[in-house]
């Protein structure tokens, strides 16, 4: 039995002071004008699955205006088991994630339990933005697949932050070099694991994305080039850190390591973002997201929840039909879709030939 969310209760979350929604079908559409809370509703589902917002770095930015905290609660079904998950931000700023009667000591324990894939218009930054956007995409996917990867990533980022603090202190005056040597040794183990997992994973993932690209782009003969770029492909961690030491001191930050990795995208030997049309960029974005979806489905044994925000404004009709066929008809997982035009989403969902639920907001 696939993963589904049956209901969600929002209290003081974004524009929702108090609201409850019941979900009765596998394909659910939210429609209404801009500002009524369609995207916020998707983000609330993402919070329950991934313990944080898809958009905001700080939990406080998700608190409703004039309030001091929020609560999100959802009822899930997974493999014939019913789960009640709650995310609470207390007035003192403390956040809690509850799974039934259990409050997690570490939020990372929840990651991967309720796999989720979200697609928003701003995700085009995966194609046109910086390497940090593509690393975040990879990390989000791999964190749901591999608990060791997630723990290594948390550890790596913590040590990296300590290393950068040492570099800032060293720029201000004498510092104990032995502390840096300890941090460098500590950085190597999680960094090497992150590198190995990324490299192994991307061998298969890139081929999958390229195949999905031709599907979404309606049989296009142009295949994007994709390659994993990492400083560790040429040198080991100790040598990298040693080679960059003087540069690190000058810039007061670490310039070598897996936090500089990238998934390089190209077309006809040129950077993809500079040569590809908007249609090609959108096709590659959805190929990446569909590949993420399919990898999670194969790994977990059931489809992840799929959250699609405002996709009708971003895809032409042919690409949209290919995408919806893949995720709503060929897939048996639960899908949530938003649109500003109720008439349009009714027509599109009715054409899928499957039971749908339409929720009009505002």
Quick one: tokens of 90? 């207390």
Residue range 33-82, pLDDT digits in tens: 999 999 999 999 999 999 999 998 899 999 999 999 999 999 999 988 99
How far is 202 from 226, CA to CA, in rounded Å?
Answer: 9
pLDDT surpassing 80 at residue 319:
no
β-strands 335-339, 305-308 pairing: parallel
For 228, phi then psi, to 5°, come to -85, 125
pLDDT surpassing 70 at residue 314:
no
pLDDT surpassing 90 at residue 329:
no
Question: What does each C-alpha distance from 148 to 193, 194, 242, 334 come to in angstroms?
Answer: 9, 9, 27, 28
Quick one: tokens of 344? 């349009």
Strand 262-267's sheet: what is its strand order?
Answer: 225-229, 262-267, 270-271
Residue range 208-267, pLDDT digits in tens: 999 999 888 876 778 999 999 999 999 999 999 999 999 999 999 999 999 999 999 999
Q: What is the mean pLDDT of residues 170-196?
A: 93
Q: Is the dihedral of CA 270, 274, 275, 280 positive or negative?
A: positive
pLDDT surpassing 80 at residue 317:
no
pLDDT surpassing 90 at residue 20:
yes
How far is 92 from 51, CA to CA, in rounded Å?
Answer: 18
Q: Check residue 77 and give its pLDDT.
A: 96
Q: How confident is the model at residue 349 (pLDDT cuts 50, 70, 90)?
A: confident
Residue range 66-76, pLDDT digits in tens: 999 999 999 99
Q: Check residue 331 and give its pLDDT.
A: 85
DSSP H helices, 256-341, are 272-275, 278-300, 317-324
How far is 142 from 197, CA to CA, in rounded Å?
Answer: 8
CA-wise closest residue to 311 among 31, 90, 78? 31
User: How many other CB atoms are found less than 10 A from the CB of residue 196?
Assistant: 13
Q: Check residue 345 and give its pLDDT.
A: 87
Query: Coil, strand or helix: which one is 50?
Result: helix
Quick one: tokens of 48? 């329950």
Residue range 99-135, pLDDT digits in tens: 999 999 999 999 999 999 999 989 999 999 999 999 9
Question: What does each C-alpha distance from 23 to 73, 87, 351 come to in angstroms?
Answer: 14, 19, 20
How far is 58 from 332, CA to CA, in rounded Å?
Answer: 34
pTM over cut 0.85:
yes
């Amino acid at each position: 039995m696939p993963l589904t969310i049956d209901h969600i209760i929002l209290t003081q979350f974004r524009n929702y002071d108090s609201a409850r929604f019941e979900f009765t079908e596998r394909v659910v559409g939210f429609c209404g004008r801009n500002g009524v809370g369609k995207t916020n509703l998707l983000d609330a589902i993402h919070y329950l699955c991934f313990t944080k917002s898809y958009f905001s770095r700080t939990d406080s930015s998700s608190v409703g205006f004039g309030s001091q905290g929020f609560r999100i609660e959802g009822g899930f079904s997974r493999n014939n088991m019913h789960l009640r998950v709650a995310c609470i931000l207390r007035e003192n700023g403390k956040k809690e994630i509850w799974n039934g009667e259990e409050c997690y000591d570490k939020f990372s324990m929840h990651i991967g339990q309720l796999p989720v894939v979200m697609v928003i218009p701003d995700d085009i930054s995966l194609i046109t933005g910086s390497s940090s956007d593509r690393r975040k995409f990879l990390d989000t996917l791999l964190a749901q697949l591999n608990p060791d990867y997630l723990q290594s990533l948390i550890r790596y980022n913590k040590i990296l932050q300590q290393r950068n603090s040492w570099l800032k202190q060293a720029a201000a005056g004498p510092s104990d070099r032995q502390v840096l040597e300890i941090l460098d040794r500590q950085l190597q183990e999680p960094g090497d694991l992150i590198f190995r997992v990324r490299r192994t994973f991307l061998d298969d993932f890139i081929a999958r994305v390229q195949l999905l690209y031709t599907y979404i782009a309606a049989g296009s003969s142009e295949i994007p080039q994709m390659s994993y770029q990492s400083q560790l492909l040429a040198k080991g961690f100790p040598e990298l850190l040693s080679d960059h030491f003087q540069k690190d001191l000058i810039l007061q930050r670490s310039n070598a390591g897996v936090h500089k990795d990238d998934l390089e995208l190209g077309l006809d030997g040129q950077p993809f973002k500079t040569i590809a049309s908007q249609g090609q960029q959108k096709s590659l974005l959805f190929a990446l997201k569909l590949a993420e979806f399919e990898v999670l489905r194969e790994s977990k044994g059931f489809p992840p929840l799929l959250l699609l925000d405002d996709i009708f404004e971003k895809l032409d009709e042919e690409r949209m039909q290919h995408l919806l066929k893949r995720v709503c008809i060929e897939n048996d997982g639960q899908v949530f879709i938003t649109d500003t035009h109720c008439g349009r989403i009714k027509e599109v969902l009715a054409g899928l030939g499957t039971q749908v639920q339409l929720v009009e907001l505002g």
